[in-house]
Structure formats: C-alpha cells, structure tokens
Structure 1
C-alpha cells in the first residue's frame, strides 16, 4: 500500500531570478549628446538674436549718388537698423531708403560682424512728367524735391498710368524725326489717346488718336519733300485727315502762293 507524504508545513517555493540585461551605454550617451546639442542650439539662437549680441555698429553706402546725399540716406534708414546682425530689419531699411525722391533701388548686404552695406542706384530721368514729376528709363514716375528739377528734359503731358506708354512712344517719335533735324520738346497724350508733338523750334504736329504711326510716317514723307522749304513759317501741321494735312502758319509768315503744298 502506497503512502502519500504531505508537504511539510511552512515550506516556501523558490523563484528563479532572471539575469540583468547589460546597459547599452553607447545608446544612452548618444541620446544625452542629442539632448545637449539641442539645448545648445536653442540657447545659442536666443543669445545670438538678442539685441545686445552682435549689434549693427556701421552702415556703409556704395553707388554713384548725384542727387541724393549719403548722410541723408543713412539718417533715413537708421531708425530701422535695430536688432542683431542676423535679424536686422532689411525690408524696412530698403523701404525707408527707396522712399527718398531720387533713390530707385537699394540692396542690403550684411558684412560680418557689425556692418550693413547699402548698394544704391538712383533714378535716371529722361523726361519731365506733367507739372512736378519725372520719368525714369523704365517709364516710372517719381517726384523730386522742389527746386531740384533737371534742366533741358523733354516734357511729357499725360494721364495717370500713361508714363510707360508715352516713354516708348517718345523714343519711337524722336528716332523717326532725327533725319529731319527735328527735336521733340514736348509730347502730349490726352485721355482719348490723342497725340500732339511740339518741337524745339516751336512747330507743333497733331497726330490725333487713330493711326498715329501711319500719320507720323506720312508727315515725314511730306516734310522731306515740298514742305521742308516752309519750315520756319509753320506753326502747326495737322495730320488728322485721311489723305491730306492742314498747315497753320505763324503770324505774318504765311507764304505768298495759292494752291496745295
């Protein structure tokens, strides 16, 4: 007969202990290094962008300035020379400088560690615009200070927004009449795009609105022929006719003839 032996009271069950996994020090050091680099970048960015760090101490100007005083330009941009070398208000500096009457464009360059270098170009005026404006080589209107209007420029009279068109037309007209020895003194375009030219000898040419280029070409053909001999006596040549022209003579200088010129 088998006898079952009972377990002794108070006996404990032994639990197996797992061995510890080795510490991956390389991975931990990599993580710590990454955190430190991030912290350095954050603190470095805050430090560099602080207004007291790398302040702008000098402003230099490059460019052929004829109608703009260098000191006036520096004074205009100075209120915007704030912040550090890296976050200075470049757009504000450019806008303030280009607000001066003769300044066409400013490029701003940072020169380490404390200088802003301004590369400045001025407007090149090719004509006067209406009463108090000027037109530059791109057909843009700008307004100089009173008393600083250049002498000897061609006068353009036209509606707002017409300066580019009139500048192109001026070049075309002057090139066309060069061979006649005529120089444009003023060019007028009204709201209906009707054109009128006054030359330096005070002769006027009316081209009207329609087919102005063809009318100019017809005037040149006629002026190269029989009309040329009456040049000093002509006040107005009106080309606003389909197949002809009309001439208004200067007072007391009408030629003694009957017929068609």
Structure 2
C-alpha cells in the first residue's frame, strides 16, 4: 500500500516538474521574441533615419495673433534657408533673425518636429499711436512700421517729435490726457518741438499752443476759459494760444 502511494506521488512530482520546465521554456521563447521584435524595429528605424537624414522642412505652421502678418510672405522670407538646410542643420536662430526683419514682428518662438515640421509663433507690435506720420508707437514706447494700408485706419492718435523723444512724449501725453479727460476733452495729436515746446490738437479740432513751461497751469487755464470763449465766439475756434503769462490768444 505504501509502495503504491509512493509511486503515485513520484509520478505527480515528475509531471509538475515537467510542466514547470515547459512554462520556463515558453517564457524564454516569449522574451527572445520580444528582444527580436525590439531589435527589428530599431533596425527599421535606423534604416529609415539613414534614408531620410537629408530630409528638408516641408510643413510650416504659423500661429499667433496675426493682424498684419501674411503667412505666405513669412514663408517666402525663410524659404531659401529651408531649401538649403536639412532638418538637423537647420539653424532656428538664423530663421528668427530673418523673420525679425519684418518691422511689425515683436517676438518669435520657433520649434522643429521630426521629420519635416517647423512651428512658428508670432507676437506682433500693437499700435498705440502713430509716430511722425509714417510709423507707429506701442504703449511701451517702441517704434515700428506697419504695411502702408494700415497707416490711415489703425489708430487716430498721433505723436510728433524729434528722434528718441518718444518716451518723453508718451509720458507727457498721459499727464495731459489724465487732466483733460476730467472735462471731456481728448487729445487727437501731441507735438513736441526740438525746443520742447508742446502743442495739442483735440478731437474737437481745436489747437492748443502750450509752450515749454507751466504745462499743467496752462491746461487748467484752458479748461476754465474755454466755456467762456465758446459763448463769446460764434465762429468755430481754430486755436487757443496759452503761452502768455496771463490770458490767451484766440484764432
């Protein structure tokens, strides 16, 4: 009886050992197949890379708030760089420099994505006022140019002044406008001469000749005297000269 039991036990143990060996063998086969697949994929990718290592950028994506920029014009600006350089040799700094030559572009971000994509994100200058007829100025005092078609229809406010005077004019504009708007007067244009003499044209077309000193005092004089002048003058007032110690000249 015990001999028969021992025989059955040994048979079961042999079977279990055989199954375990089979499982280990199958696991090893699976692991080997996985390694072969990985190596095969790597080999395929490497061959693909060698075939395409000279590939050029063929897709350009341009994003950002574009009020004045034309995608085709930007692509044309950098086309020569793209056709003479492959994906790896393409210098993004040089592309930035070329796009920055467009005068209304303020900031540029560029990224390239394998195998042939170039993404460009643009930030344009936002015009705050015209500057000396042909240019524009933003709220930080940066001067830039826009396409000619936007000269007349972008902004009405105009600044006039000598070279490198834009920050002084911008500051004075805010000072004067903050005072005038309390009484519903708004500046259409502001001019500073080389002698730093100030002159305004308001949105009601009246010209104010303010001069070089006592700016706030003279503005307050205008604010007080204008209602009286308006009653006395039946004709439209063209200008008010505030450059006198007392009183004004009206034309």
Q: Give 1:103's aligned residue.
A: 105
| Residue-by-residue CA offset, 1:23-59 (whole Å, 9 max, x unaligned) | xxxxxxxxxxxxxxxxxxxxxxxxx9xx944643322
| Residue-by-residue CA offset, 1:58-92 (whole Å, 9 max, x unaligned) | 22111121222111111112223353444422222
**TM-score normalised per structure 2:** 0.67
Q: Give 2:30's aligned residue.
A: none
Contact kept in structure 2, 1:155 and 1:187, CA below 8 Å: yes
Number of matched pairs: 198
- Kindly report which structure 2 residues correspond to 1:63-74, keeping only aligned pairs within 5 A, or say none: 63-74=64-75
**TM-score normalised per structure 1:** 0.65
Q: Give 1:205's aligned residue.
A: 208
Structure with a larger share of its residues in helix? 2
Shift of 1:165: 2.2
- Kindly report which structure 2 residues correspond to 1:127-146, keeping only aligned pairs within 5 A, or say none: 127-146=129-148
| Residue-by-residue CA offset, 1:204-230 (whole Å, 9 max, x unaligned) | 11121123244334433x247745645
Contact kept in structure 2, 1:234 and 1:247, CA below 8 Å: no
Cα distance in 1, alignment partners of residues 227 and 134 from structure 2: 39
Could you list the runs of 5+ residues in structure 1 that have no partner in the other structure? 1-47, 250-261
Q: Give 2:241's aligned residue.
A: 238
Contact kept in structure 2, 1:55 and 1:114, CA below 8 Å: yes
Quote the RMSD (CA, aligned, Å): 2.7
- Kindly report which structure 2 residues correspond to 1:159-238, keeping only aligned pairs within 5 A, or say none: 159-220=162-223, 222-223=224-225, 226-227=228-229, 229=231, 233-238=236-241
Cα distance in 1, alignment partners of residues 231 and 180 from structure 2: 16
Please state whether the residue corresponding to 2:150 is helix, strand or coil: coil
Could you list the runs of 5+ residues in structure 2 that have no partner in the other structure? 1-48
Q: Give 1:75's aligned residue.
A: 76
Q: Give 1:36's aligned residue.
A: none
